[in-house]
């Protein structure tokens, strides 16, 4: 598994794609949070906290994570190297997990520089350092779980076609459905209980819960379940491919 993981990370950083994705994530966040006027602009928000960043980041990752994972199996299928991987003495689970950790770590690397936002917010406050560290840590923690879910969705999508663009589009659509689609469906119902039930199927409710700085077991179980479910679908799909 480590060999696959190492190969994935090297493939990202021996080509411009890894630097491009990390740079694009930081650029988009920087522009929307500090430059462009609008709902996400921190200066216009009026409060020295990172709430806007954690509202914006999940939407950017909906597009960014499938862009990272779209080549994971699609490219292998297109150039014919997937068959070579499948006949090697390595289990399918190790292959899937190696691909997962490679893509996930790249997303984590993209997040690390945003820690500077915490210090910026601290300096912007009327009282220096007057921010809720628990909420900030909880939000980062929730973002990691959300990215893990997006990554497994992207991996599964990349097994569905040998065309990277098709895999990317499928990944974006599924990520969007999981994050925001169920909230939209819930709005159709007029019954409060039904609305809450449908919203709890989606990731947004659970992410918002963790982002408040309170860790509920149900929220962690939700994200772990989503990740394991799509990892399993990836495993099943690979087993179905001809060798």
Whole-number pLDDT of residue 243: 61
Q: What's the pLDDT score for residue 168?
A: 95
Mean pLDDT in order along the chain per 10 residues (243 residues): 79 80 89 81 69 87 93 83 73 90 92 86 60 78 94 95 93 95 84 86 90 83 96 92 67
Torsion of CA 108, 109, 110, 113, to 10 degrees: 110
The pTM of this model reads 0.90
Sign of the dihedral through C-alpha 173, 208, 48, 22: negative
pLDDT reported for residue 39? 76
Distance CA 167, CA 89 (A): 27
| Residue 210: other Cβ atoms inside 10 A | 24
Helices (H) and strands (E) in the chain — how many of each? 14, 0
CA nearest neighbour of 239 among 89, 79, 96? 96
């Amino acid at each position: 598994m480590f060999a696959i993981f190492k190969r994935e990370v090297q493939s990202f950083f021996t080509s411009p794609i890894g630097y491009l994705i990390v740079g694009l994530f930081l650029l988009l966040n920087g522009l929307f949070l500090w430059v462009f006027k609008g709902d996400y602009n921190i200066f216009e928000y009026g409060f020295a906290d990172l709430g806007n960043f954690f509202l914006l980041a999940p939407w950017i990752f909906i597009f960014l994570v499938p862009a990272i994972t779209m080549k994971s199996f699609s490219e292998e299928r297109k150039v014919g190297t997937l068959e070579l991987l499948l006949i090697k003495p390595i289990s399918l689970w190790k292959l899937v997990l190696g691909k997962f950790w490679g893509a996930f770590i790249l997303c984590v690397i993209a997040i690390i520089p945003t820690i500077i936002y915490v210090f910026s917010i601290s300096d912007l406050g009327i009282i220096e350092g007057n921010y809720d560290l628990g909420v900030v840590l909880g939000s980062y923690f929730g973002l990691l779980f959300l990215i893990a879910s997006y990554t497994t969705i992207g991996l599964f999508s990349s097994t569905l076609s040998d065309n990277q663009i098709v895999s990317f589009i499928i990944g974006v659509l599924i990520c969007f459905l999981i994050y925001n689609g169920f909230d939209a469906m819930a709005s159709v119902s007029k019954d409060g209980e039904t609305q809450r039930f449908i919203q709890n199927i989606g990731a947004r409710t659970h992410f918002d819960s963790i982002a408040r700085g309170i860790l509920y077991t149900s929220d962690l179980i939700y994200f772990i379940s989503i990740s394991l479910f799509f990892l399993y679908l990836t495993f099943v799909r690979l087993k179905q491919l001809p060798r």
